C-alpha cells in the first residue's frame, strides 16, 4: 500500500496517587461482650445496675455504628481505605520517519474560545465506573488532596497480560466548553486524560509582549493569545479543576512556530527549546502580573508537575530536544512520529525520556494508513476543508479507527493506545464527539484503564525489568 503524505497537527483557534487496600485485623467485641454478659448476670436483680448495663450497651452500639460509618467494605469483606498519594517522577533525525510530514495550511488568528458550541454527549454505558486499589507496598504518603490513580499499581507475573491503557490527550487545551465536556466524561467513566497547555493561552493582549519566540519578533505567534481577561480566568479555573480531578497537564510549548512560519520547531536548537520551556513556566508562575490582573484566583497546577508534552506540528530534532527535556526534568514526550507502522509500547530514549510515539496505523474507516491524530485524519478525509454536512460520515470513520486500534491492542500486545486530539469543533465537531463516545464506552471496559502518561510510566517502572522487557519487545499491531 502506498504511504500517503499527511499534514502534521496544528493548534485549534478554539483552541497521580494510589489506593491502599488492606485486610483489617479482627477487632470484634467477642471478649468484651462475654465479660459484659457475665457482669450483667450478677446484677439482674439490681435495677440501678440494669440501667448501667443499658447505658454501656448504647455506648458500645454507638462505637460500632461510628466505625461502620467511617469504613467501606467490599464484597469480600475487606475494609478498603482510600488514600491519596503523590507520584514523584523519575528523572528521566527529525521527528520520526513514518510518515512524511508536511505543514498545515496556515496560522490561527485568535485565542482560546469559550463560546464554541457544546455537543451533547452520548448516554453512558450504564456500567459503574471502576475503582482500583494499589498494592500497599507501593503506596506513598498523601499530601495534595487529589484523587488516587485509577491504575492498579501492582507487578505483573511473567506471562501475565498487561492492563489495556488508553491515553487521551488534547493539544492546546484552551476551550472552556470542551474542558467541561471531557471532565464530565472522565468523571463518569473513571478516566484520566492529559491536556497539553499552550503557554500563550495564559497571556492576553496586556501580556503578549512578554513572549518572544525563538527567531521571531516580540509579541508575535502563529496562533492567537489567550483572549479576554475572562477567557484567561476561565482557562485558569479549568486547569485547576482538571488537575484537582486527577488529570494531567503537560506542555504544548508557546508560539506554535512550525516550518510554515520559520524558524520553526524542525530547526530549533536546544537553546531555542530551553527558551520556549523557560517562557512556558514563566507564564504559569507569573500570568497575573504579566497581564496586570487584580484577582484572587491562583493557578494551582504546580510547575513541577509538568513532566512532558507535545511539540507544535510534531516537529523537532531529538538530539536538540532531549537535553532541553532533561534540563526541565521531563520524563516523557509524545511528539515523535513512529519510526515504524503500528501500535507498540513506548521506548526509553537517552536521558531516561519515555517516547510515546505518534502511531502510524491502518484505519478500516479510511481504508488506508494514517497518523492517528484528529487533524491528520481531517487532512486525509477532505484536505482539511470545513464541511459540516460530512460530519456524520467523518465521525463514523474516526470512531471505527479508534475501535480498530482498541481491538488490535487489547487482543494483541496491550500497548497503550493514544487518542491524540485538540479541543475543537472542526468539520462540524467531527472529532471530539467520537473521542467522547470512545472514552465513555471503553474506559469502563474490562481490564481497561484510561490514564495519564505519568501514571502509565509509574506502572511500567514498577514492573520487574524482565517482565517490562517482554512487554516492550512485542510486535506492533494495527498495521492492516
pLDDT tens for the 480 residues of the chain, in order? 333 333 343 443 333 232 222 222 332 333 333 333 333 343 334 444 344 343 444 343 333 333 233 333 232 222 222 222 222 333 334 443 344 333 333 333 334 443 332 333 333 344 445 544 444 334 343 467 899 999 999 999 998 999 999 999 999 999 999 999 999 999 999 999 999 999 999 999 999 999 999 999 999 999 999 999 999 999 999 999 999 999 999 999 999 999 999 999 999 999 999 999 999 999 999 999 999 999 999 999 999 999 999 999 999 999 999 999 999 999 999 999 999 999 999 999 989 999 999 999 999 999 999 999 999 999 999 999 999 999 999 999 999 999 999 999 999 999 999 999 999 999 999 999 999 999 999 999 999 999 999 999 999 999 999 999 999 999 999 999
- Dist. CA 238–CA 136, nearest whole Å: 32
In this prediction the pTM is 0.75
Q: Which three cell numbers stand for residue 450?
A: 484510561
The sign of the torsion formed by the CA atoms of 470, 473, 474, 478 equals positive
For residue 232, what are the contacts with CB-CB under 8 A and spacing of at least 6? 201, 202, 203, 204, 226, 287, 291, 293
- Dist. CA 5–CA 430, nearest whole Å: 21
Q: Which helix (H) or strand (E) holds 163?
A: none
The residue among 243, 245, 226, 244 whose CA lies nearest residue 186 is 245
* Exposure of 278 in the CB half-sphere (CA atoms within 13 A): 12
Q: What is the pLDDT of residue 115?
A: 34
The sign of the torsion formed by the CA atoms of 109, 114, 116, 118 equals positive
Q: What is the pLDDT of residue 118?
A: 31
Q: Which three-class secondary structure state does DSSP give residue 248? A: strand
Q: What is the pLDDT of residue 424?
A: 95
Q: What is the pLDDT of residue 249?
A: 98
The structural domains of the chain, with segments of one domain joined by +, span: 6-18+88-472, 30-70
Q: What is the pLDDT of residue 145?
A: 83
Q: Strands of 12-140 (E only): list them.
A: 20-21, 72-73, 79-81, 101-102
Q: Which three cell numbers stand for residue 180?
A: 467541561
Looking at the domain covering 6-18+88-472, what would its CATH class be?
alpha beta
- pLDDT tens digits, one per residue of 392-415: 999 999 999 999 999 999 999 999
Supply the angle between the helices 30-42 and 47-69 in degrees, to the nearest 10. 170
The residue among 17, 154, 21, 138 whose CA lies nearest residue 86 is 17
Q: What is the pLDDT of residue 123?
A: 34
Q: How is the chain split among helix, strand and coil, in percent rounded to 5? A: 40, 15, 50
Q: What is the pLDDT of residue 189?
A: 97
DSSP string, 343-384: B---EE-GGG-EE--B-EEEETTTTEEEESBHHHHHHHHHTT
DSSP string, 380-436: HHHTT---GGGHHHHHHHHHHHHHHHHHHHHTTT-PPEEEEEES--HHHHTTHHHHH
Confirm if 316 and 274 have CB atoms less than 8 A apart: no
Amino acid at each position: 500500500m502506498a504511504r500517503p503524505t499527511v499534514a502534521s497537527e496544528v493548534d485549534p483557534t478554539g483552541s497521580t496517587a494510589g489506593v491502599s487496600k488492606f485486610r483489617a485485623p479482627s477487632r470484634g467485641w467477642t471478649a468484651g461482650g462475654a465479660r459484659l454478659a457475665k457482669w450483667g448476670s450478677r446484677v439482674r436483680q439490681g435495677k440501678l445496675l440494669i440501667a448501667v448495663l443499658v447505658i454501656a450497651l448504647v455506648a458500645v452500639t454507638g462505637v460500632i455504628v461510628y466505625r461502620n460509618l467511617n469504613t467501606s467494605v467490599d464484597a469480600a469483606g475487606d475494609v478498603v481505605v482510600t488514600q491519596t498519594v503523590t507520584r514523584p517522577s523519575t528523572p528521566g533525525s527529525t521527528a520520526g520517519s513514518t510518515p512524511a510530514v508536511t505543514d498545515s495550511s496556515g496560522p490561527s488568528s485568535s485565542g482560546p474560545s469559550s463560546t464554541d458550541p457544546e455537543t451533547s454527549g452520548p448516554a453512558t454505558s450504564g456500567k459503574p465506573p471502576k475503582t482500583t486499589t494499589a498494592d500497599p507496598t507501593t503506596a506513598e504518603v498523601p499530601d495534595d488532596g487529589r484523587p488516587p490513580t485509577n491504575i492498579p499499581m501492582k507487578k505483573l507475573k511473567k506471562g501475565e497480560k498487561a492492563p489495556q491503557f488508553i491515553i487521551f490527550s488534547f493539544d492546546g487545551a484552551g476551550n472552556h466548553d470542551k474542558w467541561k465536556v471531557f471532565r464530565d466524561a472522565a468523571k463518569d467513566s473513571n478516566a484520566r486524560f492529559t491536556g497539553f497547555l499552550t503557554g500563550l493561552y495564559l497571556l492576553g493582549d496586556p501580556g503578549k509582549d512578554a513572549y518572544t519566540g525563538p527567531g521571531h519578533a516580540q509579541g508575535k505567534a502563529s496562533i492567537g493569545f489567550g483572549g479576554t481577561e475572562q477567557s484567561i480566568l476561565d482557562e485558569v479555573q479549568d486547569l485547576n479543576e482538571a488537575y484537582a480531578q486527577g488529570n494531567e497537564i503537560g506542555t504544548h510549548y508557546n508560539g506554535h512556530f512550525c516550518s510554515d512560519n520559520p524558524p520553526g520547531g524542525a530547526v530549533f536548537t536546544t537553546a531555542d527549546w530551553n527558551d520556549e520551556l523557560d517562557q512556558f513556566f514563566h507564564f504559569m508562575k507569573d500570568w497575573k502580573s504579566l497581564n496586570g490582573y487584580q484577582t484572587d484566583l491562583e493557578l494551582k497546577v504546580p510547575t513541577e508537575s509538568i513532566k512532558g508534552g507535545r511539540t507544535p506540528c510534531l516537529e523537532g530534532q531529538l538530539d536538540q530536544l532531549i537535553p532541553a527535556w532533561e534540563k526541565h526534568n521531563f520524563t516523557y514526550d509524545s511528539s515523535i512520529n513512529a519510526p515504524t507502522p503500528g501500535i507498540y509500547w513506548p521506548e526509553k530514549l537517552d536521558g531516561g525520556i519515555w517516547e510515546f510515539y505518534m502511531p502510524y496505523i491502518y484505519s478500516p474507516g479510511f481504508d488506508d494508513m494514517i497518523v492517528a491524530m484528529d487533524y491528520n485524519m481531517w487532512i486525509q478525509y477532505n484536505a482539511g476543508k470545513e464541511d459540516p454536512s460530512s460530519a456524520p460520515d467523518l465521525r463514523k470513520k474516526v470512531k471505527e479507527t479508534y475501535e480498530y486500534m482498541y481491538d488490535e491492542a487489547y487482543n494483541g500486545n496491550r500497548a497503550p493506545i493514544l487518542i491524540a486530539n485538540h479541543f475543537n469543533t472542526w468539520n462540524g465537531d467531527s472529532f471530539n464527539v467520537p473521542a467522547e463516545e470512545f472514552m465513555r464506552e471503553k474506559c469502563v471496559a474490562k481490564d481497561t484503564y484510561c490514564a495519564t502518561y505519568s501514571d502509565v510510566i509509574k506502572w511500567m517502572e514498577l514492573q520487574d525489568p524482565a517482565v517490562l522487557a517482554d512487554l516492550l519487545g512485542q510486535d506492533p499491531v494495527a498495521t492492516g
